[in-house]
Amino acid sequence: MSDRSKKLGPRVTVSVTPGDYDTLNALADKDDVSVSWVIRRAIHEYLQRHYQPARPLRQPASERRPVAPERA
């Protein structure tokens, strides 16, 4: 495994429309970065906005232990 693949992780291949490709190139040129960097950043921002980790399932009430009443 190369140092680069260790740093970045697995590869993903995506096909885009010619118009989107031109727009990605324009954005990359404007900021003097690679198209790959723009796409990685876009994926990162999308995941930050939309990913919600799964919450642990609550145990059904019928399976919960009864709670002892509080003493005064």
Question: What pLDDT, on a 0 to 100 scale, did the predictor assign at position 61?
Answer: 66
Q: What is the pLDDT along the chain (72 residues), one digit of tens a residue?
A: 567 667 888 999 999 999 999 999 999 999 999 999 999 999 999 999 998 877 777 766 666 666 666 666
Question: What pLDDT, on a 0 to 100 scale, did the predictor assign at position 30?
Answer: 97
CATH of 15-53, one of 3.40.50, 2.115.10, 1.10.3470, 1.10.1220: 1.10.1220
The domain limits of the chain are 15-53
**Which of 36, 33, 34, 37 minimizes the C-alpha distance to 13?**
36
Q: Look up the pTM and report it.
A: 0.63
Q: Is-contact 12 26, C-beta < 8 A?
A: no
